[in-house]
Amino acid sequence: MTETQPSWLISDCIAGNQAAIEMFVRQYETGVFRLALSIVGDQAEANEITQETFLAALRSLASYQEKQSFKAWLYTIALNHSRSHLRKRKTLERLKATLSSLFRVETQKQVSPEESVVQNDKEAAVWKALSDLDEPFRTVVILRYFHDLSIAEISQILSVNEGTIHSRLHTARARLRNALNHLHGE
């Protein structure tokens, strides 16, 4: 049996009726949260995904086709947001590993515990310096050095001219260098 929402509730939600929106959210929030949690495994992320899901669903409610299950439609939105969060998390983890490897000193000897602590501190410093960059600078660094995109591709993705991309990369590299040099007292 295909489950549908009453058309009056959908209409009232589209019209912005707060009571209808609250009824809609309360009816599905536990299921959406559980779905998100089962995919991302983190309660804070699952809460964020749940909120994003309802915002997206309310924005696109007018496009809902009553011939399909409402729950399936909503869960598809939740699943897409959950997958997006996983991709972002994996991208950040790969970026952190890539940046860490850029600053890793390769040696043939066994690494002592003291050297391991120093290395972890360096990796944390690089990651912190990158995360402290303003978003436009951090984004171009990530696209250029992690995703290995050309200046032209970055320009197209960000809808910014290539000169601006060059400038942002130059500024970002200088800021990263300064942050890391400052950390090491140079």
Taking the alpha carbons at both ends of the chain, their separation in whole angstroms is 70
What does the pLDDT average to over 145-154?
79
- Which residue carries 């050095």 as its tokens? 145
Q: Is the per-residue pLDDT at 39 higher than 80?
A: yes
| 106 — pLDDT class (breaks 50, 70, 90) | very low
Which range has highest mean pLDDT (95-104, 110-119, 135-144)? Answer: 135-144
Burial of 46 by CB count in 10 Å (0-12 exposed, 13-18 middle, 19+ buried)? buried
pLDDT value of position 105: 47
Q: Confidence class of residue 185 from pLDDT cuts 50, 70 and 90?
A: low
- Contact (Cβ atoms closer than 8 angstroms) between residue 173 and residue 130: no
Helices 43-60 and 70-102 sit at what angle, rounded to 10 degrees? 130
75-84 pLDDT tens trace? 989 999 998 8
Mean pLDDT of all residues in 106-131:
66
pLDDT at residue number 28? 93
Please give the domain boundaries of the chain with CATH numbers for all domains.
7-88 (1.10.1740.10), 103-183 (1.10.10.10)
Phi, psi dihedrals of residue 152, rounded to the nearest 5°: -60, -40
Token pair in block for residue 116: 């391991």
- pLDDT exceeds 90 at position 181: no
**CA-based angle 146:56:10, to the nearest 5?**
165
Report, as an integer, the average pLDDT of 137-151. 80
pLDDT digits (tens, 9 = 90+) for 55-69: 999 999 988 877 767
Q: Is the pLDDT of residue 180 over 90?
A: no
Answer whether residue 129 shows pLDDT above 60: yes
